[in-house]
Amino acid sequence: MTGPEHTESVHGPSVPTASVASLEAIGAGAYLVDEQGCIIAVNAHAERLLGRPAADLIGHDAHDLLHRGPQGQPLPRTQCAMRQAFHAGRTAQADEDYFAGADGTVLRISWLITPYDLEGRHDGTLVVFHASDHPQVAEPQPEREPTTRPLSELARLALLAETTTQLTSTLDVDEALRRLVTLVLPRLADWVVVDLITERDEVWRTLVVHADGETLTPHEDLQGPMPPIPEESQMPLSRALRGVASNLAGPQTYQGAPDSGIAVEQRRLFDVTGMRSAAIAPIRSTRAVLGALTLGRDEKSTPFTPVDLPLIEDIARRAGLALDNARLYQRQRKVAETMQNHLLPQMPGVSGLQMTVRYLPAPDASQVGGDWYDAFPLSDASTALAIGDVVGHDLEAAAGMAQVRNMLRAYAWSQHEPPSRVVERLDEAIQHITDVTMATTIFARVEPVDGGDWQLAWTNAGHPPPLLISRDGLARYLTDGHGILLGTQTGTRRPDATAQLPPGSTLVLYTDGLVEAPRRTLDEGLDLLRQHAAALAHRPLASFTDQLLRRVRPVGNDDDVAVLALRIPDS
Residues whose CB falls within 8 Å of the CB of residue 442, separated by 6 or more in sequence, listed in order: 385, 386, 387, 388, 458, 459, 460, 461, 463, 466, 509
Q: Which pLDDT value is given to residue 490?
A: 66
Domain ranges of the chain: 10-146, 170-332, 344-567
Q: Which pLDDT value is given to residue 311?
A: 92
CATH top-level class for 170-332? alpha beta
- The answer regarding whether domain 10-146 maps to CATH 3.30.450.20 reads yes
Mean pLDDT of 97-106: 86
Burial 325-346 (b: 16+ CB within 10 A, else e): bbbebeebbeebbebbeeebee
User: pLDDT by residue (tens digit) across 331-367?
Assistant: 776 766 665 565 566 667 777 789 999 988 766 544 4
pLDDT band at 317 (very low <50, low <70, confident <90, very high): very high
Q: Return mean pLDDT, the chain.
A: 84
Query: Do the domains spanning 10-146 and 170-332 agree at the CATH topology level?
Result: yes
Query: What are 461's strand-pairing partners?
Result: 441, 483
* Cβ neighbours, 10 Å, residue 89: 11
The answer to whether residues 339 and 400 touch, using CB atoms and an 8 Å cutoff, is no
Residue 548, helix vs strand vs coil? helix
Mean pLDDT of 108-120: 78
Fold of 344-567: Phosphatase 2c; domain 1 (3.60.40)
Spatial distance between the Cα atoms of 524 and 276, rounded to a whole number of angstroms: 58
Query: For the chain, what is the radius of gyration of the CA atoms?
Result: 31
Residues whose CB falls within 8 Å of the CB of residue 37, separated by 6 or more in sequence, listed in order: 61, 62, 63, 83, 86, 125
The answer to whether residues 189 and 296 touch, using CB atoms and an 8 Å cutoff, is yes
User: pLDDT by residue (tens digit) across 36-77?
Assistant: 899 999 988 889 888 899 989 999 999 999 998 888 888 888
Burial 402-437 (b: 16+ CB within 10 A, else e): bbbbebbbebbeeeeebbbbbbbbbbebbeeebebe
The number of residues making up the chain comes to: 571
User: pLDDT by residue (tens digit) across 423-468?
Assistant: 999 998 887 777 777 889 999 999 988 777 899 999 999 999 999 9
User: pLDDT by residue (tens digit) across 148-202?
Assistant: 556 767 777 778 878 887 887 788 889 999 999 999 999 899 999 999 999 888 9
Pick the most confident of 10-19, 385-394, 449-458, 540-549: 540-549
Q: Which pLDDT value is given to residue 368?
A: 53
pTM above 0.85, yes or no: no
Residue 19 has pLDDT above 70, yes or no: no
What is the DSSP secondary structure assignment for residue 450, as one 8-state letter? G
Higher-pLDDT residue of 362 and 92 is 92
Helix locations, 215-306, DSSP H: 236-241, 261-273
pLDDT band at 269 (very low <50, low <70, confident <90, very high): very high
pLDDT band at 144 (very low <50, low <70, confident <90, very high): very low
Spatial distance between the Cα atoms of 333 and 365, rounded to a whole number of angstroms: 5
The answer to whether residues 457 and 421 touch, using CB atoms and an 8 Å cutoff, is no
